[in-house]
A and B are shown apart, each in its own frame.
Chain A
Amino acid sequence: AQKVTQAQTEISVVEKEDVTLDCVYETRDTTYYLFWYKQPPSGELVFLIRRNSFDEQNEISGRYSWNFQKSTSSFNFTITASQVVDSAVYFCALSEAVYNQGGKLIFGQGTELSVKP
């Protein structure tokens, strides 16, 4: 069964610390896509990244980096030198290609990140 688990419900760090948000997924599909979304206090969902299951290269975008490891079914997200503006709820999500129910995203429970000055 498809499932996304974000075991960290809340994380609190002090500004400039590095922080890693964990995401573990389950899928029966060999072709799938993984996403990260950010939900700031204002409530909207902001798309951050999409990776397909055939591309295990790590990705870096400024202070953000993503580590995708098929062997452990994980797609972790690291923020380097965190800032107060990074405070948000972060969601990891899965979309399956073959068993997909019409483009459905399967979300994890979310991790609330609090960055204190």
Chain B
Amino acid sequence: EAQVTQNPRYLITVTGKKLTVTCSQNMNHEYMSWYRQDPGLGLRQIYYSMNVEVTDKGDVPEGYKVSRKEKRNFPLILESPSPNQTSLYFCASSVSASSTDTQYFGPGTRLTVL
């Protein structure tokens, strides 16, 4: 089944404790991205990747890192999480970065930083 998977689905952590949220897709998509969803703000793009080893900042990249060493995986790294990073995170992928391609989203990761 074609899908985008994220782990963990739920995470409660404390300020400053490094964490990684994994994202994997099995559709051989070139383009992957991370969004965060906050009440009243919709979803905002954090980082994106056009292909392996090619990543760039989205609208809200502060406090986050990403890597794209393999085509299928695009982990989101929070080196020193803070309470303002409490949010619902979505990974998405599409065939390419073209605006004609539909992005498919993972199930979401709900992160709470205390």
Number of A-B contacts (CB under 8 A): 75
Judged by DSSP, the binding face of A is loop
User: Among the interface residues B43, B96, B106, which one has the most CB atoms of the partner chain A within 10 A?
Assistant: B43
Q: B107 contacts A50, CB within 8 Å?
A: no
Q: A95 contacts B99, CB within 8 Å?
A: yes
Chain B residues near A31 (CB-CB < 8 A): 99
Given contacts A44-B105, A102-B31, A110-B42, 13 further A-B contacts (CB under 8 A): A9-B40, A31-B99, A43-B107, A43-B110, A44-B106, A91-B42, A93-B43, A102-B33, A102-B48, A102-B97, A103-B33, A103-B50, A104-B48
Q: B43 contacts A100, CB within 8 Å?
A: no
The answer, yes or no, to whether B88 is at the interface (CB within 8 Å) is: yes
Q: B42 contacts A103, CB within 8 Å?
A: no
CB distance from B61 to the nearest CB of A (A): 12
CB distance from A1 to the nearest CB of B (A): 12
Chain A residues near B99 (CB-CB < 8 A): 31-33, 95-97, 100, 103
CB-CB contacts below 8 Å: A63-117 with B = 91, 93, 95-97, 100-105, 107-110
